Amino acid sequence: MKTLLPIARSDIHVHLTQEDLDSLFGKHYVLTYVRELTIPGNYACAETVEVVGPKGSIKGAVIVAPVRSYTQVEVSFTDAAILGLDPPLRESGDLEGSAGCILIGAEGRRIQLTKGVIAALRHIHMHPDDAKEFGVSNGQRVKIRVPGDRALVFENVIVRVSEEYRLEMHIDMDEGRAANIVDFQLVELIR
Amino acid sequence: MKTLLPIARSDIHVHLTQEDLDSLFGKHYVLTYVRELTIPGNYACAETVEVVGPKGSIKGAVIVAPVRSYTQVEVSFTDAAILGLDPPLRESGDLEGSAGCILIGAEGRRIQLTKGVIAALRHIHMHPDDAKEFGVSNGQRVKIRVPGDRALVFENVIVRVSEEYRLEMHIDMDEGRAANIVDFQLVELIR
């Protein structure tokens, strides 16, 4: 049974609906590809937005393409403290009752979100072939041990299995720094 | 055998020598008491300094009194990224080869440190009576489990025993946010 997989940190970023993208960058705006992410077809864009909360703002939040059916801002709790927001810890797309914010795009264009700001639950993306090799299934909670000078074991790590996924664990910057992680280092799955 | 103890987060703060305090606030400056810390006799002061690195600066770093025989700046890796510094992960007072920075005090007074910036190793302070009750000794490494929605187990947690200490685990803000900690909540020591 396989136990080792790569881990990577996600910094603050946003997913946009076509409508919100149009509002922020102008009608029929085409996003600029920068680099592929580990979800094939998803990519980080050159375009960024400023995220504004009641207490402060963060510039340079990367837009992740392609557009989605919902607009979502993924922040760490450190980001949330800067913004003055109290986001729930959620899976992607689970936005009911989450925090709102203002997004500022190009040339001062802005939108007000009434919800969409979350802290992402740490999770593992797996292809069904990976799930078989690791002996786990979609939705299962596992533990992940990170070695090193700040060694720790993350509990409550949710496994997400899809034909679209490539094997990788995702955490936010706070979690990455707490464990002194180097992106793409190997960590150990503990059932 | 006892297993539960309180945990608290430390934000960026500085310890100063009398000489550096004088340089930053003027000769014979007397610091202003704000609140007692869990090391009896140590207290947070109203006075703060600005910490300046090659990339950025952080205002409002609290001074912890009384003065010490060394000047030390304790930062998280998030702070270090803002400052543009690469601090080592160390125990308090172990400053050889650590990062330098500029500190700015009152009325623009400033000093250049050639070393002193560290990220603090997570640790537990215990009175000798606590050490007996927990069945651990000075310098021992233990694991600490934090419950909750971001449950995790910190490994490599160093136990420090002294007549001067009151029972408490100390982590930085990154570690606190990674585990979604509420200050003074109880965590579990695992030998």
Q: Is residue B128 one of the residues assigned to a domain? A: yes
Please determine, for residue B41, whether its predicted confidence score (pLDDT) is greater than 90: no
Q: Is B149 in contact with A155 (Cβ distance < 8 A)?
A: no
Helix, strand, or coil (residue A57): strand
Q: Tell me if B129 is assigned to some domain.
A: yes
CA neighbor of A67 nearest in space, from A25, A110, A126: A25
Residue A3 placed within a domain: no
Q: What is the predicted ipTM?
A: 0.93
| Per-residue pLDDT tens digits for A95-106 | 999 999 999 999
Per DSSP, A31 falls in state P
Question: Per-residue pLDDT averaged across B104-131, rounded?
Answer: 97
Q: Identify whether A168 is part of a domain.
A: yes
Q: Verify that B143 and B59 share a domain, yes or no.
A: no
- A18, A82: one domain: yes
Q: Does A153 touch chain B (CB under 8 A)?
A: yes
CB of A98 within 8 Å of any CB in chain B?
A: no
Residue at a domain's end among A84, A100, A120: A120
Contacts of A19 (CB under 8 A, 6+ apart): none
B111 and B129 both lie in a single domain: no
* Stretch among A72-76, B27-31, B166-170 having the lowest mean pLDDT: B27-31
**Dihedral (CA of B179, B184, B186, B191) sign:** positive
Instruction: Quote the number of domains for chain B.
Output: 2
Shared-domain flag, residues A44 and A58 = yes
Is A87 in the same domain as A41?
yes
Residue B40 placed within a domain: yes
Q: Compute the average pLDDT of residues A6-30.
A: 96
Q: Rounded to 5 degrees, what angle do the CA atoms A156, A162, A163 make?
A: 155
Segment B35-39 long-range contacts (CB within 8 Å, at least 24 positions apart): B37/B64, B38/B8, B38/B125, B38/B165, B38/B166, B38/B168, B39/B125, B39/B164, B39/B165, B39/B166
What is the torsional sign of CA A72, A77, A83, A89? positive
Does residue A191 have a pLDDT over 90? Answer: no
Q: What is the pLDDT of residues B165-184, one digit of tens each?
A: 999 999 999 999 999 999 99
Whether B134 and B65 map to the same domain: the answer is no
Inside any domain, residue A4 = no
B50 and B81 in a single domain? The answer is yes
Q: Do you know the residue count of chain B?
A: 191
Q: Which of A102, A120, A138 is the last residue of a domain?
A: A120
On whether both B94 and B176 belong to a single domain, the answer is no
User: B37 pLDDT band (50/70/90 cuts)?
Assistant: confident
Are B82 and B160 contained in the same domain? no
- Angle in degrees, CA B126, B128, B133, rounded to 5: 85
Beta bridge partners of B161: B126
**Any chain A CB within 8 A of the CB of B158?**
no
Q: Is B26 left (phi over 0), alpha (psi -120 to 50) or beta?
A: left
Q: Is residue B5 part of a domain?
A: no
Q: Are residues B139 and B97 in the same domain?
A: no
A18: helix, strand or coil? helix
Domain containing residue A173: CATH number: 2.40.40.20
Of B149, B154, B178, the CB nearest to A174: B178
Across the A:B interface, residue pairs with CB atoms under 8 Å apart total 53
pLDDT in the model for residue A40: 79
**pTM, entire model:** 0.95
- Shared domain for A86 and A144, answered yes or no, is no
Task: State whether A152 and B149 contact (CB < 8 Å).
Answer: no
| Cβ(B104)–Cβ(B63) below 8 Å | no
Instruction: Verify cis geometry, omega within 30 degrees of 0, for the bond prior to A40.
Output: no
Predicted local distance difference test score (pLDDT) of residue B191? 81
Residues A155, A111, single domain; the answer is: no
* Structural domain contains residue B3: no
Report pLDDT for B132. 98
Considering B120, B146, B180, which residue would you say is the last residue of a domain?
A: B120
User: CB of B70 within 8 A of CB of B92?
Assistant: no
Residue B174 belongs to domain spanning: 122-190
**With an 8 Å Cβ cutoff, is B174 touching chain A?**
yes
